[in-house]
Amino acid sequence: MKYRLITILLALISTSCRSQEISNWTIMYYAVGSNSSESNLLSDVDEMKRGKQSSDYNLVLLIDRVEGFSEDVTTLDGNFTDTRLYQIEHNSYRRLDGKAFLPEIGTDRSYEANMADALTLKKFVQYCKQYYPARHYLLVLRSHGDGVGMCPDAEGGNRDRLYPAELTNLLTSHEAVDILGLDVCSMAGLENLYQWRPENNSFSADYVIASAPLSGAWAYDRILERLTTNSSEALPLDLNHFDGGKESTLNPHEMTPLDLSKLIFEEIYDSQRWSSWGLFDNTKVSELKLKIDEAARSLVKEEKTAITNVIKNTLGYYHDAAENLEEAQLAYPYLDAYHFWNQISDQASFATDTRNQAKEVCRLLDDLVIHSYYGEGYLPETGDFVNGMSGVYQLIPEGNRRFSQTQHSFWSYCDWFSPDDRSSDQDAYGQYDWCSDDAIKANDQVDNFFELLDYLFDDTNDGTGGVNGYKW
């Protein structure tokens, strides 16, 4: 009897150890469907079930649904409208209990989470790292985005969303990931990448995949079916547009973060030629930020009109299909960073030092951008986009321009872009490291690029701080 008990205990220990075996990869899919994206999220999950050929990596999703959009009852277990956890395998799924980190979520009870609260995201990442441990992690945020924030959730009565600085304020370095996949619109900004830089001692990502303008959903079936130990001959594969040769499959046991990032990006390009996407090496963004701020301290010595003329001539990430072009340019003040700085480097009227610093910014942008492409059909026609250098924006509005409906300056509508806490405002959060780092507030000199913008567009540098309350 004694030996039988020991055998049973050893078997239980063995089973427990197997369940906690460290995989090479865990993919975490954070699906915020408390909005009009719900139908697309269910399509994503259906593609995942078809595409996941291998059990050699983990795929875990937290999904929230809402009434009024999809009536899908077959992709997952019914037409639910609450928040649920699942593990996805080939043509199957398993509903999960939230255990210690998400105890409100269970297979036998209903719970409505605020997916726009960064604490929910934090708990989800902690859950995955505890119960699906791996050497590498890919976190996919899937919903809507507009550059200011992403993943809106209004089910609690108040519209909320995830903001770039909210992630670094509430998550920690323990929730850092190898790859951050932003399957949302318009988040490929230097200001956002810098917020999630690996050196920030908080939430971070080594690689980021994001779109500068509006975009569509990833092709999850094509992405996942290429993660397999089977021969690549089993799949119809395209030519590799970015690295040359033919696309290939990746062994989940061996693939690196860069390998997986490139594979995802190839499939985005194959399925979504109309948008513009970038793959970024986020370990490079801190050095780039220092050089941009150095260049800003030189630009302040140049003529304002020369700088604003460059801004007017820089490629912007808004859609030509917008009914009101002025409103699109107001809402999306996102200019291609490489095009902007390349023009600065070629501006004959600028000092040699300013131009040389701009050239160095362009070189560092080339280091940051691994791959990028520009879509056709919905974006302004341009010959100024350079693959592998363009594709990431800076927030640079035509700040002196007046909005026809109010006569307020474009810069006054960017008050959400701030080093200060704006979380009490509607649709704002502030606290951008991009704005605060390398700057001394109210010292009457321009220290970084954010302060350069305020110098250019806010004539009131008194105790009130002008239109955005900031005094440089």
SS3 state of residue 220:
helix
Q: Tell me if 416 sits within 8 A of 406, measured CB to CB.
A: no
Active site residue 185: yes
Q: Tell me if 232 sits within 8 A of 249, measured CB to CB.
A: yes
The CA–CA distances, whole Å, from 301 to 183, 295, 307 equal 40, 10, 10
DSSP letters for 355-393: HHHHHHHHHHHHHHEEEEE--SSSSPP-S---TTT---E
Q: Tell me if 259 sits within 8 A of 370, measured CB to CB.
A: no
Quote the CA–CA distance of 216 and 39 in Å, as a whole number: 13
CA 286 to chain centre: 17
Q: Which residue among the candidates 128, 151, 185, 414 is catalytic per the annotation?
A: 185
Strands 277-281 and 205-211: antiparallel
Neighbours of 278 (CB within 10 A): 25
- The burial class, CB within 10 Å (0-12 / 13-18 / 19+), for 113 is buried
Spatial neighbors of 294 by CB under 8 A, at least 6 apart, are 357
The CA–CA distances, whole Å, from 319 to 123, 269, 359, 389 equal 36, 18, 29, 21
The CA–CA distances, whole Å, from 59 to 85, 169, 431 equal 11, 26, 33
Quote the CA–CA distance of 367 and 284 in Å, as a whole number: 7
Helices assigned H by DSSP within 92-196: 118-131, 164-170, 190-195
Nearest alpha-carbon partner for 247 in 230, 226, 229, 228? 226
SS3 state of residue 92:
strand
Nearest alpha-carbon partner for 383 in 348, 350, 336, 347? 336
Residue type, 346: D
Q: Which residues are catalytic?
A: 185
